Amino acid sequence: MRVGFIGLGSQGAPMARRIVDAGFGTTLWARRPASLAPFDDTPAKRAVSPAELAAASDLVCVCVVDDADVEEVVAGDRGVLAGLRQGGVIAVHSTVHPDTCHRLADRARAHGVTLIDAPVSGGGPAAAEGRLLVMVGGESGTVRFCRKVFETYGDPVVHMGPLGSGQLTKLLNNVLFTANLATAAGTLALGREFDVDPAALAEVMAHGSGSSFALGRIAAAGGTLDRIAAQAGPLLRKDVRLVADLAGAAKASTGIVLDAADTTLALIEHER
C-alpha cells in the first residue's frame, strides 16, 4: 500500500514517521518546508501539492488543525480529490464536525473515492510509541483496508461504527476530559482550604478511585489550570461547543457533563 500523509505537526509528524519506519511507501506534503526536514534521513517522498501526493497514494491520511484546513487539503483546487485515483481512501485524523466528514465523503464518492473519519487521542509521545487511540468511523471493509497502517501508530484502533461515529466519540471523550478538569482542579483547591498539600493530595488520588487523566494533567501543571489554559484552551472550547451544538440539534439530554465542561471553560478564561 502507498500512503500519503498531510499534517506534520507535533502529533502528525511522529504518526508519519511510524508509517515510514514500518516500510510503507510514503509521500509527504506540508505548507512549510521546515516540517519536512525531520524526514530527510528517510525514504519518504515529497509532493508539491496535495493532488500530487494523492496521485502517488492508495490511502491519504489527513492530520491538519480544523475543519477549514481539512476542506482545503481535500477539496481545494489542488487538493487530494484532484489527484486520488478511483478506489482510493482518505482518512481524516483531524478532530472536526461530523457534518464536515459527511459533506466531504459525498464529494469523494463522486470521484470514486471513499472517505472515513479516524480522529486520534494521545498526543505526540503516544504517536511516537505507537500507542495512539484511533477511533474510526466508516464502512467495515474500508476500515480493514486501513487498519494495518493505523496500527503502525495506534493501539488500540477501534471501529466505532458508520462514518462520523469516530468524530462523535472523540468529541465526547474531549468533553468528559474537559469536565474532569473542573472537578480535579476544584478538589485540589478544596484540599488547600483544609491545609492539605495539593501535591501530596494529587499523589494519593492518583493511586485511588478518584484518579483520572485530567487529575494527572493538573498535578503536572502545579495544581492549576493556567498551563492547560495556554496550551489547550481554544481546542477544548471548540470541542465543547461542537458537542453542545450537536446535542441541541438532536434534542439530546446532556446531563451534567456539559455543565461541568462549561465550568472548566470559565475557569480557563479566568486563568487567561
Q: Catalogue the active-site residues.
A: 170
Across the strands, what pairs with 98? none
Contacts of 86 (CB under 8 A, 6+ apart): 111, 112, 113
Residue 71, Cβ neighbours under 10 Å: how many? Answer: 17
d(CA 111, CA 64): 22
CB 171, CB 257: distance < 8 Å: no
